[in-house]
Amino acid sequence: MSGEKEKTSAPSSSPYVEFCKGVNGHDKVLLRESRGSSAEVYLYGAHVTSWKNDHGEELLFLSSKAVFKPPKAIRGGIPICFPQFGGLGTLDQHGFARNRLWTIDDDPPPFPTNTLSKAFVDLILKPSEEDSKNWPHCFEYRLRIALGPGGDLMLTSRIRNTNTEGKPFSFTFAYHTYFSVSDTSEVRVEGLETLDYLDNLQNKERFTEQGDALTFESEVDKIYLSTPTKIAIIDHEKKRTFVVRKDGLPDAVVWNPWDKKAKAMADFGDDEYKHMLCVEAAAIEKPITLKPGEEWKGRLELSAVPSSYCSGQLDPQRVLLGS
């Protein structure tokens, strides 16, 4: 393990990428773009904890009570759920990737990408002995986190089955993104209308969403199925729209704990549910199966665009089909 620790402090910083220490001395990486946008990534969990636009406004929600102390996962930002989403299996809630120490990937394989980003970091996770006992599969999980010149945040996961004895494995996955919003009850989500979903509050019973944009006035925990590659989260008060673009991730989870569950969570402020909404790009209903040597890729791109329209005047086709 000492070699791994040396590796995390060895990379040299640049104007776009800075390696430093965060809360409780944890290693973190700061990504900065020349126009002023930034992102912060902890090696613990390969966890994005901050994403700011070029005005320095925070776009992700991080709980004021978040615990930066292993083995507890960090509450907020973008936790990575792998190899299990939620309690859908024998592992701990949401699997183990979000509470392992990842390492800098100094020599990632060629990365076909159309971004001009200079602000990026490559991280890698391989199974520990403990992981192999609980989930007996060999894998390499490579993650690139990049900040585009326009401030877009891109996460690309590449997971490869490195089993040598011919065993395939299956997994479920999610980027559990916590968006920062002005007031959850004033937010609309476009792009999930008329789709089927599994309601986690009703024993995963399957329902069909109505034809209107999603709005929120109570606890929600739904897995939308066969979702489009683009979803919009419209925050009227902040005159801001988040656009979620995803590839390889057919499902989308929408979650807000609301008041009662918020009070029950030690690492979550009682009233913080009013200022966050999770919209998560995921692969849950149909687990991903990899044979030895096969690789899966799942990509998430987040952008925040100013929006000047008022409630009820949104043309969803423009947001979802436009650029």
Contact between 269 and 263 under an 8 Å Cβ cutoff? The reply is no
Contact between 206 and 196 under an 8 Å Cβ cutoff? The reply is yes
Residue 160 marked in a binding site? no
Task: Write down the residue that tokens 């401030």 correspond to.
Answer: 151
Annotated catalytic residue 280? yes
- Whole-angstrom distance, CA of residue 186 vs CA of residue 99: 33
Helix (H) or strand (E) holding 113: none
Side chain identity at residue 148, one-letter code: G
Contact between 73 and 45 under an 8 Å Cβ cutoff? The reply is yes
Buried-state track 246-258, b at ≥16 Cβ within 10 A, e below 16: bebbbbbbbbbbb
Residue 142 marked in a binding site? no
- Whole-angstrom distance, CA of residue 96 vs CA of residue 81: 7
Q: Among 26, 94, 137, 176, which one carries the catalytic annotation?
A: 176
Residue 93 marked in a binding site? yes
Q: Which tokens in the block code for residue 210?
A: 């109505």
Q: How far is CA 61 from CA 34, 109, 273, 323, in A?
A: 23, 32, 10, 25
Q: Among 40, 190, 272, 280, which one carries the catalytic annotation?
A: 280
The span from the first CA to the last CA of the chain, in angstroms, equals 45
The beta-strand segments (E) located in the chain are 17-21, 27-32, 38-42, 47-52, 80-81, 103-104, 119-125, 139-147, 153-161, 169-175, 178-180, 187-190, 196-199, 205-208, 220-224, 230-235, 240-247, 251-256, 276-290, 295-306
- Whole-angstrom distance, CA of residue 48 vs CA of residue 209: 31
DSSP string covering 153-189: EEEEEEEEE--SS---EEEEEEE--EEE-S-GGGEEE
Annotated catalytic residue 140? no
Contact between 146 and 24 under an 8 Å Cβ cutoff? The reply is no
What residues are annotated to the active site?
Answer: 176, 280
Indicate the annotated binding residues: 75, 93, 98
Q: Which residues are annotated as a binding site for substrate?
A: 75, 93, 98
